[in-house]
Amino acid sequence: MNWFKDLLGLKPSPEEFAKTVLKFITASGHPELTNPRYDAEQFAIVCSNSAGEFTGALYLANAYDEYCRVPKAMRTQLLTDFFLNRSEMPETLNDSIVNIIARLQPRIFFEGMKLRGAIRTLNSDEKDEASNMPHRIVGEHFGLTLVHDSPSQVSYISAATLEKWGTTFEELLPRAVTNLTRLTPEPFQPLNDGVYYSHYADTHDCSRLFVMHRVQACRLKGRPVAFTPNRDTLVLTGENDVEGLALSLKFVQEVLKEPRPMPVFALILDGEEWQLWDVPADHPCKDDLSNQMLISMADIYGEQKALLEKKFEKEGHDVFVASLTILSDEKVKRYFSMGVWSEGVPTYLPISDKVAFVASVKGTPENVLLTATFASVLSVMGDEMTFHDMYPPRYFVEKFPTAEQLERIRALGEVK
């Protein structure tokens, strides 16, 4: 059936696409893509050498999104560009220096790489050097890293590559920003009065919030506020521009429908540093901004949950990784987040607005005993909650509250 869908240019399922890619790279005989197999859990093609040792993974999500959107006649070229046109990283810093670019990525991108590397090398002495990607945290939820931008592909620069070149991340970052500035010869374009966007569409647009003279040239009401819903989009407006913020959010919602979306968090320029915007409670756009950022947080926790579950399963740990669930109240416009603490189930809890305590009957979670604010839960149960400084952070809980503790939590912060 896959051939028939391909003939008509219809959207294949993820599994059908993976089979197409597997067949394509096997037929290519590419010397680096040896012994490929499909890993459904990672949605990736995993390669190994003759000894069965891991040599690389081709993650399929981005290619799948674009494959489903392009005309049938362009699909073979798309597969070639994604999976076969793979250029080697230059051997020396001198050969690469002009093409090193500063790149903004979601922070979960780096944390996900670490987790995948830990999963691959679990119970072995092998080190996964490729998963160690030096970066600087930006606005809590993003990271600024280094890439080598060649005509055929953008390659992330690992710690091992920096060591081979005899340099460091901090030494190269200023030059990488300078190179990005060189790729930004024109001012940002106005989307409307007080709203600007980067128009280059070269995969570096979101990173251009670090081209400071272009940001500062925008005529904005108040400090610059930036949104980066995908790598080809940077939207700027002012913190005091209610209409500009509303338009920016509307534009962001449309961009999020395109391939390769990024989490949406409002970043504000404080001096020379981009920070997560702590939107004032009385700001007219507070609810809309908070709702969008909460949705992004749920997506990040979801991505982390899938990786942690696979890691714990491979380690033989029988634990539950709770989701961050987004809910709404008819009485108020703003969304809220919920985590579930079930009786008798060791759980990694996300940090949420509220916590639901669920009683178990014969080992099966059944009825909600209490819903309370996270702050009240932490106040009473803090000694039973182990903080894990991962990203995003979680608390490990094992001992369910006693009846007396539940009553203390209820008195502090029960939620109807």
What would the pLDDT profile of 296-312 be if each residue is shown by its tens digit? 999 999 999 999 999 99
Which of the residue ranges 45-49, 55-59, 245-249, 361-365 has the most confident prediction, judged by mean pLDDT? 245-249
Residues 242 and 316 in one domain: no
pLDDT in tens, 254-287: 999 887 899 999 999 999 999 999 999 999 999 9
Give 128's pLDDT tier (boundaries 50, 70, 90): low
Q: In the block, which residue shows the tokens 């916590």?
A: 355
Q: Lowest-pLDDT range, 123-127, 134-138, 364-368?
A: 123-127
**Tens digits of residue pLDDT in 53-63:** 777 777 787 78
Does residue 153 have a pLDDT over 90?
no
Structural domain contains residue 283: no
Average pLDDT over residues 208-224: 97
Looking at residue 117, its pLDDT comes to 85
Q: Give yes or no for residue 126 having a pLDDT over 70.
A: no
Q: Indicate whether 292 pLDDT > 50.
A: yes
Q: What are φ and ψ of residue 189, in 5° steps? A: -95, 145
Phi-psi label, residue 379: left if phi above 0, alpha if psi -120 to 50, beta otherwise: alpha
The token pair at 415 is 């939620």
Confidence tier at 25 by pLDDT (50, 70, 90) = confident
Q: In this structure, which amino acid lies at residue 61?
A: A
Q: Where are the beta strands (DSSP E) in 180-244?
A: 189-192, 195-197, 224-230, 233-238
Which ranges of 241-285 would DSSP assign to H, the alpha helix?
A: 242-255
User: Which ranges of 240-344 does DSSP label H, i.e. alpha helix?
Assistant: 242-255, 286-315
Quick one: 64 and 122 in the same domain?
A: no
Distance of CA 67 to the CA centre of its chain: 21
Query: Is residue 363 predicted with pLDDT exceeding 80?
Result: no
Question: Do residues 316 and 407 share a domain?
Answer: yes
**pLDDT at residue 398 tops 60:** yes
Token pair for 352: 């949420």
What pLDDT does 33 receive? Answer: 82
Give me 204's structure tokens.
């570096």
| pLDDT given at position 162 | 95
What pLDDT score was predicted for residue 8? 42
Are the beta carbons of 380 and 412 closer than 8 angstroms? yes
Identify whether residues 261 and 351 lie together within a single domain: no
Same domain, 33 and 108: no
Say what the pLDDT of residue 81 is.
80
- The answer on 64 and 35 residing in a single domain is yes
Inter-helix orientation angle 75-83/61-69, to 10°: 160
Residue 87: per-residue pLDDT: 66
- CB-based contact 223:241 (threshold 8 Å): no
The answer to the question of residue 261 being in a domain is yes
Asked if the bond preceding 392 is cis, omega within 30° of 0, the reply is yes
Residues 396, 346: contact at Cβ < 8 Å? yes
User: Which span out of 16-25, 55-64, 388-397 was modeled with the highest average pLDDT?
Assistant: 388-397
Cβ count within 10 A of residue 134: 20
Residue 32 three-state SS: coil
Domain count along the chain: 4
CB of 228 closer than 8 Å to CB of 274: no
Do both 71 and 3 map to the same domain? Answer: yes
Rounded to whole angstroms, what are the CA distances from 366 to 52, 319, 326, 345?
45, 18, 20, 13
- The predicted model gives 385-403 an average pLDDT of 96
pLDDT band at 46 (very low <50, low <70, confident <90, very high): confident
**Residue 25, domain member (yes or no):** yes
Look at residue 295 and tell me if it is in a domain: no
The domain containing residue 148 runs over which residues?
87-182
Residue 292, domain member (yes or no): no
With respect to residue 364, please indicate whether it lies within any of the assigned structural domains: yes
| Strand partners for 361 | 364
Q: What is the CA radius of gyration of the chain?
A: 24
- Do 214 and 230 have their domain in common? yes
* Averaged pLDDT for residues 374-387: 96
pLDDT digits (tens, 9 = 90+) for 130-149: 678 999 999 999 999 999 99
Separation between Cα atoms, residue 112 and residue 159, nearest integer Å: 16
Final residue of a structural domain among 278, 311, 331: 278
Q: Which of 32, 57, 85 is the last residue of a domain?
A: 85
Specify whether 103 is located in the same domain as 203: no
| Cβ count near 304 (within 10 Å) | 23
Task: Tell me, yes or no, whether 24 and 125 share the same domain.
Answer: no
User: Do 153 and 177 fall within a single domain?
Assistant: yes
Cβ-in-10-Å burial (0-12, 13-18, 19+) of 5 comes to middle
pLDDT tens, residue by residue, 82-99: 888 766 788 899 999 999
Residue 239: burial class (beta carbons within 10 Å; 0-12, 13-18, 19+): buried
User: How high is the pLDDT of residue 281?
Assistant: 94
Domain boundary among 149, 182, 215: 182
* Judgement on whether residues 170 and 218 belong to the same structural domain of the protein: no
